[in-house]
Structure 1
Amino acid sequence: MPTSETGPVEPGTASRPAARVPTDRKRQPSGDEARARAMRAAISVIAEKGTAALRMSDIAERAGMSTGHILYHFGKKDRLLLEVLAWSQADLWARFRQAADRAASPAEKLDLFVRFYLPRDQGDERYALWTQVLAQGHDEAGRRILTELLDGWDERLEAIVREGQDLGHFADVDLPEFTIRAVAMLSGLSEDVMFGRARWRHTSPHAFALAALARELRPEGRELRPEGRD
């Protein structure tokens, strides 16, 4: 369940509540501006209160919008949760793509993938959103949306590894099996970070994950290290 902050590269967000925007009913935002503001407010409120206690009025207050405006955009809570998650991931993928386009090598893209996937700390709002949404019951359409979002990260990882293999930078691993192992490991590490396991207080989950992936992908007799990174 990947996550990242609203900054250009680094993942995670702080656990502090977002500032509430005063509601001006005479000038409500419209179109993309309104949806983006509502989405950001929803992510913050869900991380803070969870889905069970979530009210549309809480999102409206946080966004500085009217409750009617929120209802107009989302209709009901079940739809809201899926739409917010999809919007959050689209925003994250766009940032990842921008960073990956500047990367000097597949090894650096792999480093970025790990950074974007893992939460920074227990207060990561995007990862909290993932856990809240996955815990809900979903109909077939909802499960299809969630599956597509999860599969999207598998596909990105496979594309990075395939590029590295084509260039001779990565070993010739079985790609589907490697992806399953890699994503399972990253998900387990993410849960540890969100739970606050003590073993990660003095060890970087990112460094641990990258070293584990490098052991599988390192071509014989070569070192796998992203250019320009420690």
Structure 2
Amino acid sequence: MAGGGGGRRPAPPREDVLATAMEMIAERGLEQLTMAALGREVGMSSGHLLYYFGSKDELLLRTLEWSEGRLGVERGRLLARAGTCRARLDAYVDLYVPERPGDPHWTLWLEVWNRSQNADDTGRDRQVAIESAWHRDLVALLAEGVSRGEFRRVDPDRFGAKLRALLDGFAIHVAIGLRGTDREQILGHVGEFLTEGLYARD
């Protein structure tokens, strides 16, 4: 029966909880986020949130996995479109680099990395799974470019590892708002690295 005043309010969709958690972590950091505050935002009790997530660290990982899932769909769409391998590689880089200082997705990553030393094996495995998806897609794209003759004969796995290390370092600069760096400068540096690494003569 609709409208019963004593009825229990349904829990919000899981995606709404995780989206709100991401926004609050980006604004306040995980240390300042409480289950009670998150519960007020999404209309759930802190007890229910603890039941679903168990801890703030688990909430953080699930929020990151949800955010990464959305990015994975976008990454797949970009990499499947028609065009040169270099154009798709540039799109991959554009998706990887934070949009701005305080980028919510990158704030999640910084929080996860900050807690990695204390993570259990399961938590570390989940982080590796996320990282591996980015690497796997990059290696496949590089291998395609080599097989087509568009890129010189690099080792896709080694070159991909170097590129992602470069991207992670630059991305952190953008995410924390390091003075003297901005997104356009970073994209320019990465573009030069790709041109020198993929088109220089052997």
Fold match by TM threshold 0.5: yes
The residue aligned with 1:28 is: 10
The structural deviation recorded for 1:115 is 0.8
Q: Sequence identity, in percent?
A: 31
CA deviation profile, 1:17-43 (whole Å, cap 9, x unmatched):
xxxxxxxx854345xxx1100110111
2:166 is the alignment partner of 1:185 = yes
Q: d(CA) in 1 for partners of 2:17 and 2:77?
A: 24
**SS of structure 2 residue aligned to 1:52:** helix
2:148 to 167, 174, 177: 167
The structural deviation recorded for 1:126 is 0.4
Gaps of 5+ in 2: 1-6
In the TM superposition, what are the counterparts of 1:208-219 in structure 2 within 5 Å?
Answer: 208-218=189-199
TM-score (norm 2): 0.86
2:30 is the alignment partner of 1:51 = yes
The residue aligned with 1:41 is: 20
Q: Which has the higher helix share?
A: 2
2:55 is the alignment partner of 1:76 = yes
**1:168 partner amino acid:** G
Q: d(CA) in 2 for partners of 1:206 and 1:139?
A: 35
Q: d(CA) in 2 for partners of 1:53 and 1:170?
A: 47
Extract structure 1 runs of 4+ deviating beyond 3 A. Answer: 64-69
**SS of structure 2 residue aligned to 1:199:** coil
In structure 2, relative to structure 1, the CA distance for the partners of 1:199 and 1:68 (3 Å cut) is same
2:112 is the alignment partner of 1:99 = no
- Any conservation in 2 of the 1:28–1:65 contact (CA below 8 Å)? no
The residue aligned with 1:60 is: 39
The structural deviation recorded for 1:182 is 0.5
TM-score (norm 1): 0.76
1:148 to 129, 148, 161: 129
- Any conservation in 2 of the 1:122–1:194 contact (CA below 8 Å)? yes
Q: d(CA) in 1 for partners of 2:101 and 2:112?
A: 17
Question: RMSD of aligned C-alpha atoms?
Answer: 2.0
Q: d(CA) in 1 for partners of 2:183 and 2:93?
A: 18
The residue aligned with 2:98 is: 119
Q: d(CA) in 1 for partners of 2:89 and 2:65?
A: 23
Q: d(CA) in 1 for partners of 2:105 and 2:56?
A: 17
In the TM superposition, what are the counterparts of 1:196-215 in structure 2 within 5 Å?
Answer: 196-201=177-182, 203-215=184-196
